[in-house]
Structure 1
Amino acid sequence: MSKKALCIGINDYPGTQNDLSGCVNDANDWAAALTARGFAVTKLIDAQATKAAMVSAISGLVGGAAKGDSVVITYSGHGTWVPDQNGDEPDGRDEGLCPWDIGSGKVLLDDEIAALFAHRAAGVRVLLISDSCHSGSVTKGDSDDLDAGMPRARFLPPSVWMKADELPASRVSSLPIISGMSRSGGDLLMAGCLDTQFSWDTRFKGRPNGAFTYYALKTLAALPAGASYAQWFKAITPTYLPTNQLPQNPQLFGSRTARAWKVFA
């Protein structure tokens, strides 16, 4: 049984004027945590994380895994959407991740990720952790570690990267953002937020990070041995997220069986 991970972090988005600050730190932090738990980790940082490179890395990781293997993919960067073309999205949108070359129209859609995950062998466990905008209510959580100042949303609207003649009609663009990445086909998805929300790029104790990543790793370090994904998720929310300053509700998608798996086993 092998354990392999891919950690993607993109701060630099050429041609968009929408750079982020905490995504590379996120990727490095996830890589360190996964390495400590016995994973062989590959990273794609900034210009390394083109769409082609992301597709190749995910394909190789998932396609090369055998029964009993565990695969973890973490992504920190912008999220976006395009109009749904095949009618499988209730909100009329396909959600997507924004590779480094999104400025050239290179978006990695949830349907494409599902197709990549579909090539896994039976018995391969796949977890996707996405600290980007998918899309709630606000409660008062513990934000003592959060620096003062306005966080930045990890969302790239279509108008930033799509050509003017390709932009969707206003009827579609007025729809709420739905967490369509839940349809990506892995066993589990841990996402930074839910409907109508953003995942926030901010600073903790002077260091940039994604809010979800920061609190996910903080609680991971305190989990008892043998804790499940459901227990990990419960430690994140509502204790740390959402807060008045960070109005995002993390999400855990997956079957009851998968939620009961031991974290990073």
Structure 2
Amino acid sequence: MSGNRGIVIQCGYCRLEHFAVKRTDIFCCSRCRSLIPIQTHEEQNRTTIVYNRSVKTSPLPKIKSSSENQLSNNGSLARFSGSSGVKYLAFERPKASFSMFNACPRVLSEARLGKRALICGVSYKKQKYKLKGTLTDVYNIKHLLMYKYHFPEHVIRVLTEEDDLDRIPTKANMEAGLRWLVEGCRPGDSLVFYFSGHGLRQPDFDDDEIDGFDETLCPVDFKTKGMIFDNDLNDMIVKPLIKGVILHAIIDACHSGTILDLEYLYSLKEKKWLDNRPPSGAKKCTSGGRAVCFSACRDDEMATDSNAFTKKAMSGVMTHCFIQTILTKPKLTYAELLSSVRDIILETFASRCLSSKLIDKLLNRRISQEPQLSSSEVFDIENTKFML
């Protein structure tokens, strides 16, 4: 079909082909009503092929919790978070013969200087608490940054167990990546840290935590090398932020509400910022910049895996809802983003069948998850547009 008259768009969810005369950023599939963010590539014969997956907008079906996956650590029992694979998005891992980044040269011209991102997805291969789909979440986040927010691919560092030894999410590699993320930051820089994996809590002996617990992230080798504590994250990527630099952290893990130890936590119920400064008086502030963190749940909650979004794969609830909201509702404020993600999660839990709820009650399982927003400083989230 000639590209002079239009382009061919294939839905990544149901594979139905459409012919579009006008170029558009988002196309709606006529069969499954999926939203397809468009990135095109013109071949020599001017036929356009879209290597995309779609965003499913139909009502969310049954949710499946993986709360059975628990680990005893220093006497505390915690279910590891589930950030697993999602196939609902517009971004499919590119084939070897085709570079999605090269397919869209306008990204280079539109990309602003001063962008940098660290994306960590930990699957814990060959371990009893393995996560099955973090790779898909990682690639979806990466392509969201590239094609929605115009991050050049070379400024995005990805750590997964599929890569070379220096790109495996070990504790040493994650800490090196975190230092790289903020190293030499300058006014105007936009930095992003994404983590998909397990999270735990540990007793706090420094009187730095209001609830008496430190929150931690679990690298792939955490059993031998240890976890990364919230105090460490604050030291590595919060305190170095100078004036004019903004960091966004997106954390899909259990017990992640205050994972960066930021000084303010927003309450949707009270519609105000709450004081989260350490009782000890320790300084957890930046060097003039701003750090903002979207977390999957409160510090005392567990993040949940769900098959509510596709029938073929589990996915991290928070990651799915976060990206879906951004793609379907452009020009969001921080308040709208946080509220929308929470509402989709609540709808997902509400859709669970009665028998599943009864089993949870009999087994004394708490299946609840409330996304959190924390910040190094108070700002007007009702009127501030979200941008990475």
User: What TM-score range do you get, normalising by the shorter chain?
Assistant: 0.7 to 0.9
What CA deviation, in whole Å up to 9, does each residue of 1:181-226 have, x standing for no partner? 15156621101111432101233312232011011111110122x3
Given the superposition, is the C-alpha separation of residues 71 and 6 from structure 1 closer, same or farther in structure 2, using an over 3 Å criterion? same
Q: Which residue of 2 aligns with 1:43?
A: 158
2:368 alignment counterpart:
247
Q: CA deviation at 1:81?
A: 2.0
Aligned CA RMSD, in angstroms, stands at 2.1
**Runs of 4+ residues deviating >6 angstroms:** none
Per-residue deviation at 1:64? 2.6
Q: What residue is the counterpart of 2:386 in the other structure?
A: 263
C-alpha change, 1:182 and 1:113, in structure 2 (3 Å) is closer
Deviation at 1:13, TM superposition (A): 5.2
Separation of aligned partners in 1, 2:345 and 2:201: 27
* Residue from 291, 313, 319 that aligns with 1:213: 319
Aligned residue in 2 for 1:106:
226
Deviation at 1:121, TM superposition (A): 2.4
AA matched with 2:178: I
- In the alignment, is the contact (CA less than 8 A) between 2:318 and 2:345 conserved in 1? no
Q: Could you tell me how far 1:261 is from its partner in structure 2?
A: 4.0
Structure having greater relative contact order (Cα 8 Å, sep ≥ 6): 1
Matched, 1:24 2:135: yes
Q: Which range is displaced more, 31-40 or 5-14?
A: 5-14
1:63–1:120 contact (8 Å) kept in structure 2: no
Deviates more, 1:36-45 or 1:249-258: 249-258
| Paired residues of 1:22 and 1:201 also in contact (CA < 8 A) | no
* Aligned counterpart for 1:77 among listed residues 172, 180, 197: 197
Unaligned runs of 5+ in 1: 136-178
Question: 3-state SS of the aligned residue for 1:46?
Answer: coil
TM-score, normalising length: structure 2 = 0.53
**Identical-pair percentage:** 28
Provide structure 2 residue ranges, at least 5 long, that are not aligned to the other structure. Answer: 1-112, 163-167, 263-283, 285-289, 353-366
1:31 counterpart SS class: helix
What per-residue deviation string (whole Å, max 9, x for no partner) do you get for residues 107-160 of structure 1? 00000000012122222101111000016xxxxxxxxxxxxxxxxxxxxxxxxx
Q: Is 1:187 aligned with 2:291?
A: yes
Q: Could you state the TM-score of these two structures normalised by the residue count of structure 1? A: 0.76
- 5 Å-filtered alignment, 1:118-133, equals 118-133=239-254
Which residue identity is paired with 1:91?
A: D
The CA distance in 2 between the partners of 1:258 and 1:62, in whole Å, is: 25
Q: CA deviation at 1:91?
A: 2.2
Which amino acid is the alignment partner of residue 379 of structure 2? Answer: T
Task: Figure out how many residues of one structure are paired with residues of the other and give that number.
Answer: 220
Partner of 2:33: none
